[in-house]
Structure 1
Amino acid sequence: MTGAERGEQITADIVQRTGITEAMIERLVHSFYTKVRSDPMLAPVFDARISDWEPHLKQMCAFWSSVALMTGRYHGTPMVKHMPLPVDAAHFDRWLELFETTARELCQPTAAAHFVERARRIAASLEMGVAGGQGVMLGVGERFRRDTTGAVQ
C-alpha cells in the first residue's frame, strides 16, 4: 500500500467511525465563525486581522479537514499566526466554548466528540505557544494570563 493509499484508508476509517464529511466540516466552520464574529471577546481579535472572511473560512475548512479527517489539505503555520495575537487563557476558553457548542449543535455525538477532543488539544497547544512567544513557560496545569492592560501576569 502506498502512502497516498494509506492516507485515503485512514480518512475512510475516520469517516466510517465518526460520520464526519467535508460538508459537515464546512457547516461547522461557517457556523462557528458566525458566532466568533459576533462574540464580544473574540470578534475584536479577528476584526483587527481579517477583512475578507471567505479566504479565511476556506483555509479553516482545509485546516479542520486535515485535523479531523487527516486529509492533509491544510499547509499553513497556525502557531506562527497565533503567537503575536493579544490573547490569553480566557480567549482560548471562549473559543473552545463556542466551538464545542457549535459542534454539539450540528454534529452527531461521535462526530462532535471527535472535533472537540482535537479542538481542546489545539487550544492548549496554541495557548502554550502564545505564552512562549511572550517569554512565559507554562508548567503542567498552568494557564497564560494577561492583566487588563494586556501585560503578562
Structure 2
Amino acid sequence: MTELTEAEARRARATAEIVARTGIDETMIDRLVRRFYAKVRDDSLLGPIFDARVEDWEVHLQRMCAFWSSVALLSGRYHGNPMVKHMPLPVDSLHFDRWLDLFRRTVREVCPPAAEAHFIDRAERIAESLELGIAGGQGVLLSRGQRYCRESL
C-alpha cells in the first residue's frame, strides 16, 4: 500500500470536510446530473444546442458526473477543459441564465440546503467564467456586471 502524498492527503481532508458539511456524495451528484440534463434536453433553448453536439448521452453524463465531482468534492475525477468545449457554442447570457435557472431548480429538488448552496455557488461561478471566456473569444471585453449578448455583435 502506498502512502498518500501531502497534496493527496490535503485533498482527502478537504473532500471529507465538504461531505460532512454538505452531505454531497457521488450518488447525489449522479442523481443531480441526470435530472438536470433531462431538463436541459427538454428545454427549447438549450436542448437543440446539446442535441446537435452530444452523440452519446451516457458518455456525456458520466463526464458531467466526473466534472461535478471535481467541482463539488475536489475529487480530481475530471480531466478536461470546459472552456475549450464551450468556446465554439452559439451561446450568450440568455443561455447561461437558462442553464442556471434549470440547475438551481434541479438542485432544490435533489439536494438538502447545505448541498444546494454549495452547488449553486459553484454553478454561478462556472457560468460567469464561461460567459466571460466566450465573450472574450469573440473579441468582446465585458466590464464588471456587463453581460454577453450575441445579437449585439
**Do Structure 1 and Structure 2 share a fold, with TM-score over 0.5?**
yes
Three-state SS of the structure 1 residue aligned to 2:78 is coil
Match of 1:98 among 102, 116, 121: 102
Per-residue deviation, residues 69-111 of structure 1 (Å, max 9, x unmatched): 0011101000001011000000000000000000011100110
Q: CA deviation at 1:16?
A: 0.1
1:18 and 2:22 are equivalent in the alignment:
yes
Q: CA deviation at 1:4?
A: 1.0
1:86 and 2:90 are equivalent in the alignment:
yes
- In the TM superposition, what are the counterparts of 1:46-125 in structure 2 within 5 Å? 46-125=50-129
Opposite residue 11 of structure 2, the aligned amino acid is G
Match of 2:8 among 4, 24, 28: 4
Opposite residue 59 of structure 1, the aligned amino acid is R
Match of 1:41 among 25, 45, 64: 45
How many corresponding residue pairs?
A: 149
User: 2:132 aligns to what?
Assistant: 128
State the identity as a percent: 63
Q: CA deviation at 1:2?
A: 1.6
Structure 1: stretches of 5+ with no match in the other structure: none
Match of 2:32 among 17, 28, 31: 28
Structure 2: stretches of 5+ with no match in the other structure: none
Q: CA RMSD in A?
A: 0.9
4+ residue runs over 4 A deviation: none
Three-state SS of the structure 2 residue aligned to 1:135 is coil
Give the TM-score of the pair, scaled to structure 2: 0.95
Q: CA deviation at 1:5?
A: 1.2
